Amino acid sequence: MSFVLKDPTFREFRDFIYEKCGIFIPDTKKYLLENRLVKRIEEKGLSGFEDYLKFIKYSTNGDELSRLFDAITTNETYFFREPQQLDVFADQIAPKVLGAKKTKDIRIWSAACSTGEEAYTLIMMLAEKQAGVRTEIVGSDISDEVIASAKRAVYNSYSIRNVPEPYMKKYFKNNGQMNFELDAAAKRPVSFSNVNLIDEKKIKTLGSFDVIFCRNVLIYFDDKAKQKVVSHLYNSLKPGGYLFVGSSESLHSVTRAFRPVIINKVVVYQRG
């Protein structure tokens, strides 16, 4: 069967999605929403987009909403993404954070972590560059599907393509068929949970962090949602803590609350 997403229904979907998670779908991306939802409409045996909208608005247990988030999010990620930022973190920011306290503990949030590559990259880099440091990382995302995959920690060749050879040898087991499983020791310090970045109450349950990575997700929000999310991130940082956003993202027009620190051409945002 072929389904058509009419403009008024598209706008209702767009408003609903925006209200629930801050993702703003412009008119030019209507086709994306259409393509991604058709499969679910067919699976549920519904008569079309209008029917699905009603179903999702009035379904009470949140399961369908979670399926909607799985369908609409873009989950592109890989190990050692944007390596200049990662080096600045492991070589400069981590020692600064540790130098400022008496313990050798560091608590990090990989917010919007998708399938976990960022969180595990940070664990491996700290283990190699800051030996003896006790690291705890919380990875979170709005999509249950990617969280489940992050917990499994089995990756394909696309995901691991930038992993330096010595890390590959030490931290991954090749199970054949281009299937690479992360070592249990690298998995242990990382926990994952479903957190919507516009949900302030849920975010508060995570506690406070020395460093937050929230990369390549602000681009999906409009200015208002960006401001909301960034203020949640600010409140989740310990005083003096650091925030990394994607290298193509900037807080310039979003907030003046942070102090931008530039190290090796990388901008890091510090909470006062």
Ligand X SMILES: C[S@@+](CC[C@H](N)C(=O)[O-])C[C@H]1O[C@@H](n2cnc3c(N)ncnc32)[C@H](O)[C@@H]1O
When asked if residue 123 is in the footprint of ligand X (CB under 6 A), the reply is no
- Among the residue ranges 26-34, 98-106, 193-201, 249-257, the one whose residues contact ligand X (CB under 6 A): 193-201
Answer whether 107's CB lies under 8 Å from 190's CB: no
Pairing state between β 209-214 and 237-245: parallel
When asked if residue 171 is in the footprint of ligand X (CB under 6 A), the reply is no
Residue 81: how many CB atoms within 10 A of its CB?
Answer: 18
Cα–Cα separations (whole angstroms), residue 24 to 56, 128, 198, 217:
18, 39, 13, 12
When asked if residue 22 is in the footprint of ligand X (CB under 6 A), the reply is yes
Nearest CB to ligand X, comparing residues 135 and 196:
196
Nearest CB to ligand X, comparing residues 135 and 149:
149
Which H, E and C letters describe 156-216, residue by residue? CCCCCCCCCHHHHHHHEEECCCCCEEECHHHHCCEEEEECCCCCHHHHHCCCCEEEEEECC
CB of 69 to ligand X, least distance (A): 7
When asked if residue 215 is in the footprint of ligand X (CB under 6 A), the reply is yes
Pick from 98, 97, 147: nearest CA to 119: 147
When asked if residue 141 is in the footprint of ligand X (CB under 6 A), the reply is yes
d(CA 17, CA 22): 7
Nearest CB to ligand X, comparing residues 53 and 214:
214
63-82 residues in contact with ligand X (CB under 6 A) are: 73-77, 81
CB of 146 to ligand X, least distance (A): 5
Q: Site size for ligand X, by CB under 6 A?
A: 25
Measured between its terminal Cα atoms, the distance across the chain in Å is 56
d(CA 270, CA 272): 6
When asked if residue 142 is in the footprint of ligand X (CB under 6 A), the reply is yes
Nearest CB to ligand X, comparing residues 135 and 140:
140
When asked if residue 198 is in the footprint of ligand X (CB under 6 A), the reply is yes
Q: Of 5, 23, 122, 268, which lies in the binding site for ligand X, with binding defined by CB under 6 A? A: 23
CB of 182 to ligand X, least distance (A): 16
27-56 residues in contact with ligand X (CB under 6 A) are: none
Answer whether 37's CB lies under 8 Å from 30's CB: no
CB of 76 to ligand X, least distance (A): 5
Length of the chain in residues, anyone? 272
CB of 118 to ligand X, least distance (A): 5
Pick from 228, 223, 239, 178: nearest CA to 203: 228
Pick from 121, 118, 114, 184: nearest CA to 149: 114
CB of 58 to ligand X, least distance (A): 22
Q: Of 5, 21, 68, 268, which lies in the binding site for ligand X, with binding defined by CB under 6 A? A: 21
When asked if residue 149 is in the footprint of ligand X (CB under 6 A), the reply is no
Name the residues that contact ligand X, by CB under 6 A.
21-23, 73-77, 81, 112-114, 118, 141-143, 146, 196-198, 215-217, 220, 246
